[in-house]
Amino acid sequence: MLHVAVIGSGTMGNGIAHVFAQHGFSVTLIDISQPALDKALSTIGKNLDRQVTKGGLSEDDKTATLGRITTRTSIAEGVTNAQLVVEAATENVDLKLQIFRDLDLYAPQGAILASNTSSISITRIAAVTRRAEQVIGMHFMNPVPVMKLVEVIRGYATSDAVTEQVMDIARQLGKTPTEVNDYPGFVANRILMPMINEAIYSLFEGVAGVEEIDTVMKLGMAHPMGPLQLADFIGLDVCLAILRVLHDGLGNPKYAPCPLLVNMVMAGRLGVKSGEGFYTHAPGSKDLVVASRFQK
């Protein structure tokens, strides 16, 4: 089994580390904050407990999974023996470019460098390294332990061999890899984000309320959750960042983010992560309550 390093211990990073470790890979989880790493390990433990309760995992499997994960607060120390690195840091271009510059310095020469970016160009990321043929996108869906899709994004220079190896690794994780080319938003977010943006415009223009918009999409289109609830779950700041990548990269005004979304992000109403977006999100509660600003 490959040794895998995962950079970033937030929701996506700890989920990625969880899945790799559960499937027998040794994992180094890297973050600049030790408290963040401790929180990530606690989250992984709770998610494994849930799997045990549901009968999908034994207590021994849980113990073995946690035993395969080590933590580091330094990229230089954490990637020394990595054969695959999966970057899952915040969706920020400058941050990702700096991480990949560091990875080019410290990761072994033959290591594959993957990004979990949901929209940023893999070609642009690869260009700051001296191993562009070994740089690829490995876009997991949230929640990682549950969702089957991995969007595998080929940069301009990504080699056939690296692409096939990453596709095979995704299959070893029990995922379904889908190969796409490197254009803004790839496939998942090029289709999803305009839908979410249009839902926000529908609210902004008074076409319907929050619950009504989500109900139409859930009951009429068989979506498991409505677009406004999903936006809260993803993070409104993340939605805005992806829409800006689409707008800048494709130059089409149809991708321009709704002014309501821009204002909500500026006001710190980011969805689940801040406790309020289109809905309020009380810790531990699954009740959907429309935010007071949008109540009739």
Q: Which residues does the annotation mark as catalytic?
A: 118, 139, 151, 189
**Annotated binding residue at 232?**
no
Q: Which residues contact 289 (CB under 8 A, 6 or more apart)?
A: 279, 280, 282
Residue 225 class from Cβ within 10 Å (0-12 exposed, 13-18 middle, 19+ buried)?
A: middle
**Annotated binding residue at 11?**
yes
- The residue behind tokens 């740089």 is 135
Question: Could you tell me if 147 and 118 are in contact, meaning their C-beta atoms sit under 8 angstroms apart?
Answer: no
**Annotated binding residue at 118?**
yes
**Annotated binding residue at 31?**
yes
**Annotated binding residue at 9?**
yes
From CA 161, how far away is CA 233, in angstroms rounded? 35
**Annotated binding residue at 209?**
no
**Annotated binding residue at 220?**
no
Q: Which residues contact 200 (CB under 8 A, 6 or more apart)?
A: 228, 231, 258, 260, 261
- Which region holds residue 208: left if phi is over 0, alpha if psi is between -120 and 50, else beta? beta
Angle (CA) 44 45 46, round 5°: 90
**Annotated binding residue at 46?**
no
From CA 222, how far away is CA 168, in angstroms rounded? 31
Residue type (1 letter), 294: F
**Annotated binding residue at 58?**
no
Question: Could you tell me if 237 and 284 are in contact, meaning their C-beta atoms sit under 8 angstroms apart?
Answer: no
Question: Could you tell me if 203 and 228 are in contact, meaning their C-beta atoms sit under 8 angstroms apart?
Answer: yes
Read out DSSP for 242-270? HHHHHHHHH--GGGPPPHHHHHHHHTT--
Query: How many residues are listed for the chain in this entry?
Result: 296
**Annotated binding residue at 10?**
yes
Which residue positions form the known binding site? 8-13, 31, 91, 96, 118, 142, 273
Which residue positions form the known binding site for NAD(+)? 8-13, 31, 91, 96, 118, 142, 273
